[in-house]
Amino acid sequence: PQANRMIIELQPEEDISLTVMNKKAGLDSQMQLQPIKMSLSWGFRGKGDTPPRRRIAYERLLLDALKGDSTLFVRRDEAEQAWKWVDEVSDAWADGGVKPQEYVAGSWGPPLADTLLARTGRTWNTSE
């Protein structure tokens, strides 16, 4: 049987799905498992329902800007603090002689990421 999984998708279609192993229905004495997938996609309600059209690229930001809604915008002081943190991390790497691991765009990341997880007996699930 496969492991239970929670998958968080960020782009282009945001979704959180949970796949769990569930006992197949029936009265026989055998325990047979099947994967059941549950999606927490914000626009999906069930079979036959059509999710609403998702706004593309910066459409929502532009509409919010026109309405004067700054909820999704970063303030200057937030951006400055974020870059301060990034600079501190970058400086610490440079001081320690550590170079970030390079990897091909669209890949699962550098091989060292697998090593990091393996320390605790875990692996990336790359099946989806």
pLDDT digits (tens, 9 = 90+) for 41-71: 765 555 566 666 666 767 888 888 999 999 8
Tell me the pTM: 0.43
- What letter does residue 116 receive in the DSSP assignment? H
Total domains in the fold of the chain: 2
> Listing from the earlier edge strand, what are the strands of the sheet with 15-23?
5-9, 15-23, 33-39
- Token readout for 94 is 């440079």
Note whether residue 57 is domain-resident. yes
Residue 43 and residue 56 in one domain:
yes
Residue 7 binned pLDDT confidence (cut-offs 50, 70, 90): confident
Note whether residue 126 is domain-resident. no
Phi and psi torsions of 35, nearest 5°: -75, 135
Look up the domain containing 67 and give its range.
Answer: 1-23+32-73
Q: Tens of pLDDT along 29-43? A: 678 888 999 888 765
Residue with tokens 């790359």: 126
